[in-house]
Chains A and B, each alone.
Chain A
Amino acid sequence: MQTGLLLAPALLVLATVFVIPLARLFALAFTDPAGTMVPFETLLGSPVYRQVAFNTLVVAGSVTAICAVLAWPVAYVLSRLKGVWFIVALYGVLFPFWISVLVRTFAWMLLLERNGPLNKLLMGSGLTDSPISLLFNNTGVMIGMVHVLLPYMILPLYSAMSRIDRRLLLASDGLGAGLLDTFRRVYFPLCLPGIAGGATFVFLLSLGFFITPALLGGANAITLSMLIANFVNERLAWSLAAAGSIALLAIVLLIMGLTAKLLPLDKGMFAK
């Protein structure tokens, strides 16, 4: 069969069900009766909206940083395990992908509430005197987001680690370098592509998060995605929603472009 014939159905459907709707939405940003650039001016001009954008970036950055730290032990242990234990650990990382974000976020709602098990544990062990507010603020949102996004950081890092030739480390050791030096000068630099790839992935996904901030943060931690949804659902402000969407997508593409230039894109990153 002709190559074109094979690709045509999928491309046609993609165009109709994806590209055209997106174009239609983006057009709405420029067709507000008040003026072509008015929605953008409104977004950029309002301190509230700017705060939302800032908050989104701060949360995304923090989540990325936390994931970058927590991923290390798991990725390292995964790269050293073999046999049954490797499978068990790997499944532990892969399995959460199959659970809906909604279910995972709901679980955290149960765990983080004032009378929930986490607070009971903290009070019971004497770490705090009164329940900490973990829900409906940035803290809860970040805990939930880290939980969902951590596997996206672990896998690329693990991939980079498992490719490191052990003999390089033996060579460094043989040349007299101590543990810290070997780590700092040989191991860590070789892990960098993995970290960078994972960090990009996690950061970009964080920017688009909607469910988790909505349920765990409520009105106190609004993200861009929530804002866009709000524009459509509560206010039918389509042109604002469209402008916000363009802004969000633009940030995503910008960061992707930057990282693609700075690093060679790892094919492993997109292969699940």
Chain B
Amino acid sequence: MTNTGLPLRLEAISKHYGKFLALAPTNLDVAAGEFLTLLGPSGSGKTTLLNLIAGYVEPTAGTVAIGSRDVTGLPARLRNIGMVFQNYALFPHMTVGQNIAYGLSVRGVSKAESHRRVAEVLALMQLEEYADRAIQKMSGGQQQRVALARALIIEPDVLLMDEPLSALDKQLRRNVQLELRRLHHKHGRTTIYVTHDQEEALVLSDRIAVMNDGRIHQLGSVDDIYDRPANAFVAGFIGESNLFAATVTSVSDGTAIVDVEAFRRTIRAPAAPGVEPGRPARLLLRPEHLLFNHADDGVPAEIVETVYLGELSQYGIVLENGQSLIARQITDRSIQAGTRVTLSWKPDHARVVAESSTTGGLSNA
């Protein structure tokens, strides 16, 4: 495994099925060796985008370029991509070794050379003794590694992974995620990863593209997405969040003044791009950022539920207008259901986000 894969560029790529818009025109630039995750709920367009990159689906419009090659008209087998499918798609009538060697055998690689490379990849995946094993005898986690080995051995320019861990149980999934990360540092190939699990995205990625309704809502690093979500959808999808309807009075210099009906007061907070007076907006407060009884003019509220999580506790809270929210803090035994508290937060920890993204189509790289 020597080279690190190639950069990927999508320009104005889109896909319609009849009247149905699966993917709105999208731009995407992925650097060579980067690990990019397409994150979103089902139907968000992430699998369509993956299949367009792979070449299993033809775009309605737009181009795909891998490195300096325009591959738009090429089918999958000519693009030199490696794909790992959701259910692994391992060939049942072949052994582990034969599965992995398949890509080499269709390229006419000699038996000796193929043998050597398979051994190399098996070592990388820690599956050395399994070369002649039937795949039905392998566990889910092992099959997943075989699928990855099969994709990597052909030295693809881009590695594509379609929710490869969704069939594994939670504990195993966490271990495999860390392993995937380590492997990526070793093979360094440009990787596009699809998942609906935001924790997984946060663990694995260099950058995340949060998608919904056939569009990329935000593309950025893990910190960007978490601390500075671009709109209400991203804010709600990543991490845990409390969102409140807010009417924008004014915006200047990245700070907005909004009326939050749930608090019955006017708040000043950093604003995401796209926030402007007249457009529906939300105030975002993460559970870990809420403070109890810290300020004299805090928002009055009542605790209705406490969930003990060890060092931290989660508190279900109700405001005077009936709206509920969640807070998470270091456990304070004096706070019980029924306790009245006032809520406040550091000014930087609140954020105003627009209801839906203004950049309707072409999201920038």
A and B touch in the complex (CB under 8 A): no
